[in-house]
Amino acid sequence: MSIWKNLARIEDDLCKQTLQTLKDEKIEMLKEAQRNPKLLAKWLYENQGEMRFGSENRLFLVLVDTEDFNNSWKLKRNIDLLKPTIVSYLDHFKKKKTEELRVDFEFKGKPHGFSALADVIFVVK
């Protein structure tokens, strides 16, 4: 069982305050990533697994359940939530400039830098 779930089971003020602080910090990180998706895309490229390394262009789909961060992955099944966000992104994609999508990054163990076109779609519940 996760620390998060253990704290939620304890009914005291310190645990509730700790959980709220953690939630607030995660929401602030989400807001920062939404303000600067290029930075997140760079981090995702630089921290991908070595066996799956690739510098190809990517569109990252970031799913966040603000009520249950640990189960955000379950949002991939929620078509009613995903579809409007993805359709809206695609409808406005033609307005994006190629240079705005360029991400330059390094990868540990590789002798040179890389450049790719990338963007991030945030689906937040």
Give 10-residue mean pLDDT values along the chain (125 residues). Answer: 66 83 93 97 94 93 93 95 96 94 93 95 96
Domain membership of residue 89 (yes or no) is yes
Which range marks the domain in which residue 64 is found?
A: 36-124
Per-residue pLDDT at 4? 64
CA pair distance 106, 46, nearest whole angstrom: 6
Flag whether 24 is in a domain.
no
Going by their DSSP bridges, the two strands 114-124 and 102-105 should be labelled as antiparallel
Question: Residue 113's pLDDT is what?
Answer: 94
Q: Are strands 114-124 and 58-64 parallel, antiparallel or unpaired?
A: parallel
Number of domains in the chain: 1
**What was the pLDDT predicted at 49?**
87
CB atoms within 10 A of CB 109: 7
Specify if 65 maps to a domain.
yes
Residue 35: how many other CB atoms lie within 10 Å: 9
Looking at the domain assignment, is residue 107 inside a domain? yes
Question: Could you tell me if residue 5 is inside a domain?
Answer: no
Taking only the tens place, the pLDDT of each residue in 15-38 is 788 888 988 999 999 999 999 999
pLDDT at 6: 61
Measure the CA–CA gap between 110 and 14, rounded to whole angstroms.
46
- Looking at the domain assignment, is residue 48 inside a domain? yes
Please report whether residue 120 resides in a domain. yes
Q: Evaluate whether residue 23 is within a structural domain.
A: no
Cβ neighbour number for residue 103 with a 10 Å cutoff:
23
Instruction: List residues bridging with 60 in a β-sheet.
Output: 120
In the prediction, which pLDDT does 122 show? 97
What is the end-to-end Cα distance of the chain in Å, rounded? Answer: 23
